[in-house]
Structures are given as C-alpha cells and as structure tokens.
C-alpha cells in the first residue's frame, strides 16, 4: 500500500481467508456447497409456506421474509468470493465495495428486525391469545416488515454517504473476504471519527434495543407460562418458541463472536473465521432449525413432497 498516494481509488483488494494456492479449490468447493444448500433450504421454506394454507399465519409470514433476507444476505458476499477464487483475483471495484457494504448492512439489520418482530408475535400469541387475531392482522404485519425495510435502508445509506467522505490509499487491501463497515473504516487513510460514532449509535439503536425487546418478550412469555395450570399446555405453548430461540441464539451468539474477535485480537484470520460463522453458517442453518424443530413445517414438507411424488 502506498502511504502517500490519496488519489481517487477505483478498486480495492479483498485478501480473503487464505493466501495458500493449494487451499483455494477446497475453499471454493466448501463455500459453493454451503451457498447452494442455503439457497435450496431457504427457497424450500418460502415454497412450503406459500403453498400450504395452514401456514398463512403471521409467524410463518415473518419466517418466509426471514428466509428471503437470508438468501439475499449470503448472496451479498459468497458469489464475489467464489468469482475471485476462480479468477485467481482479489480485486473489487470501489463502487462494488460500497454496494456490498450497503447491502450487507441492510440484510444484517433486516435479520435483526425480523427476529425482534417474531419475538413480539410469540409474545402476543401466548400472553394475549384472545386478542392475537386483532393485533397481528395482515395489515399490521405488513406494516412492521415495511417499516423495518424503510429504517434499515436509510441507516445503510447514511453509512455509505459517510464512507464516501473518506479517502483511501491506492491499492487498499481489505484483510477480509468481503467489504464490511468495520473493515472499510480500518483501512481508511482519513479521519473516521464521525463514521465510528454513527456506527456505535446505529449498533445500539438497531442491535441492543431489538435484543432488549426480544429478552423482554421472552420474560413476559415465561412469566405467562408460569401461571398456566396445565403442564401440557405450558409445553405446547413454549414449543412454538423453540425454533425462534435457537435462531436468535445463533444470530446473536455468532454476532457477539465477530465483535469480540475484532476487539480482543488483531488476527485478521480469526476475525474472518468468526465472520464466516455469522455471514455464512447462520443463513444455512436457519431453515434446518425451523424445519427440524417445527411440526407444522415438517407436515407441510411431507405434503409438498407427497404431491410432487404423485404427479405423473
């Protein structure tokens, strides 16, 4: 990197996960397989929910949106990584890097918002069952999703506008396999104080507050279940939350892992591995968690495969 050259940057270089040439075919095969499995699993969830009228409920409406966002989430990073491996190249255009950062921010935020909305849905279903149909009506559910898109779009756009104020050295190298906010701010050659302040504020507003909402919802759910007289009813009610709790734990657990790996270690390799868990493994596991732990989804899958097998 040329420390003194600050002319307008046209491209950056993604260093990826490894410089070992012999490891590149393995990485390509592994990540291509993960990408295809993720696409197939989430598309199948969307197909099952849309084709089974029994699943046309708020909970599965939000789940189908989560699957769509996960498809977009993993498609933001993996295809470019695979192209670079196959082309034996590390470059990404400056505009391409900004676009990748923008979409990555949007889809991470949407995952966060949808998990929060799903927790609220479970809270209403268990704590206010008599008012559930009135509160979680289709118009309100659509409003929650649209507002989530609206908020995170403007947050991502503000991040990009702040990044466009920064200057970068020619030949800027990003020690990662994709362009993320934190990675771009690390390699900027101008003052990033305003960017970091906005990043911290956005993280609190869009990360800590939603997580607090999720925890509060489950606190209310557990309190409500504790007042139930029937053990079977208590188990049946809480079983509908099992898949969501697993996905929330996976999302926030890997997210915290990425933050800690960046804050506590200067090893870009460890940070990249933590990011793989967050950006690649989480979207892949979500459809399996919901299909394996959810009787309704498993029943709809059997019906779908049964209809497909019976077609001439």
Q: What is the pLDDT of residue 258?
A: 74
Asked if residue 68 is part of any domain, the answer here is yes
Q: Above pLDDT 90, what percent of the chain?
A: 33
Q: What is the pLDDT of residue 191?
A: 87
Give the CATH number, domain containing residue 274: 1.20.1070.10
Q: What is the pLDDT of residue 192?
A: 87
Domain extent, residue 237, equals 11-293
Give yes or no for a contact between 109 and 156, defined as CB atoms under 8 angstroms apart: yes
> In the numeric block, which tokens belong to residue 59?
């909970």
pTM of the model as a whole: 0.89
Contacts of 251 (CB under 8 A, 6+ apart): 111, 112, 115, 278, 282
How far apart are the C-alpha atoms of 273 and 258, rounded to whole Å?
9
Is a pLDDT exceeding 60 seen at residue 257?
yes
Give yes or no for a contact between 63 and 290, defined as CB atoms under 8 angstroms apart: yes
For the stretch 58-81, pLDDT in tens is: 999 999 999 999 999 999 999 988
10 Å CB burial of residue 121 (0-12, 13-18, 19+) is buried
DSSP classification of residue 154: H
Asked if residue 5 is part of any domain, the answer here is no
Domain count, the chain: 1
For the stretch 10-69, pLDDT in tens is: 778 887 777 777 788 888 899 999 999 999 999 999 998 888 888 889 999 999 999 999
Other CB atoms within a 10 A radius of the CB of residue 148 amount to 22
Span 152-171, average pLDDT: 90
Is a pLDDT exceeding 50 seen at residue 6?
no
Give yes or no for a contact between 176 and 271, defined as CB atoms under 8 angstroms apart: yes
Asked if residue 35 is part of any domain, the answer here is yes
pLDDT category, 4, cuts 50, 70, 90?
A: very low
For the stretch 260-292, pLDDT in tens is: 666 555 555 666 777 888 888 888 888 888 776
Is a pLDDT exceeding 50 seen at residue 3?
no
Closest CA to 116 of 210, 247, 206, 205: 210
Average pLDDT, whole number, for the chain?
84
Asked if residue 310 is part of any domain, the answer here is no
How far apart are the C-alpha atoms of 244 and 118, rounded to whole Å?
8
Asked if residue 203 is part of any domain, the answer here is yes
Asked if residue 225 is part of any domain, the answer here is yes
Closest CA to 250 of 213, 272, 277, 269: 277
Based on C-alpha coordinates, what's the Rg of the chain?
A: 21
| Cα–chain center distance at 276 | 12
φ, ψ (nearest 5 deg) of residue 173 = -105, 130
Secondary structure of residue 93 in the 3-state scheme: strand
Is a pLDDT exceeding 60 seen at residue 312?
no
How far apart are the C-alpha atoms of 298 and 275, rounded to whole Å?
30
Asked if residue 26 is part of any domain, the answer here is yes
The residue ranking higher by pLDDT, 220 or 306, is 220
| Beta strands 91-93 and 173-174, pairing class | unpaired
């Amino acid at each position: 990197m040329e420390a003194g050259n600050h002319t307008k940057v046209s491209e950056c270089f993604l260093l990826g996960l490894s410089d070992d040439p012999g490891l590149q075919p393995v990485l390509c095969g592994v990540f291509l397989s993960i990408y295809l499995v993720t696409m197939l699993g989430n598309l199948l969830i969307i197909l099952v929910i849309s084709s089974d009228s029994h699943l046309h409920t708020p909970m599965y409406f939000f789940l189908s949106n989560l699957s769509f966002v996960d498809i977009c989430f993993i498609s933001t990073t993996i295809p470019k990584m695979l192209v670079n491996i196959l082309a034996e190249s590390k470059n990404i255009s400056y505009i391409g890097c900004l676009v990748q950062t923008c979409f990555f921010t949007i889809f991470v935020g949407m995952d966060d918002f949808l998990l929060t909305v799903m927790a609220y849905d479970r809270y209403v279903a268990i704590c206010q069952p008599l008012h559930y149909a009135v509160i979680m009506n289709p118009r309100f559910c659509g409003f929650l999703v649209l507002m989530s898109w609206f908020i995170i779009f403007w947050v991502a756009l503000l991040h990009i506008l702040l990044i466009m104020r920064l200057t970068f050295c020619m030949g800027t190298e990003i020690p990662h396999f994709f362009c993320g906010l934190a990675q771009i701010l690390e390699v900027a050659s101008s003052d990033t104080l305003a960017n970091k302040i906005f990043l911290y504020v956005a993280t609190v507003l869009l990360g800590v507050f939603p997580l607090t909402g999720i925890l509060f919802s489950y606190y209310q759910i557990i309190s409500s279940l504790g007042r139930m007289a029937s053990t079977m009813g208590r188990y049946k009610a809480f079983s509908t939350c099992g898949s969501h709790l697993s996905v929330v734990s996976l999302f926030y657990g890997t997210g915290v892992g990425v933050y800690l790996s960046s804050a506590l270690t200067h090893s870009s390799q460890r940070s990249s591995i933590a990011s793989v868990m967050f950006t690649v493994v989480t979207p892949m596991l979500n459809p399996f968690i919901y299909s394996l732990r959810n009787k309704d989804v498993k029943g709809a899958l059997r019906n779908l495969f049964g209809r497909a097998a019976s077609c001439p």
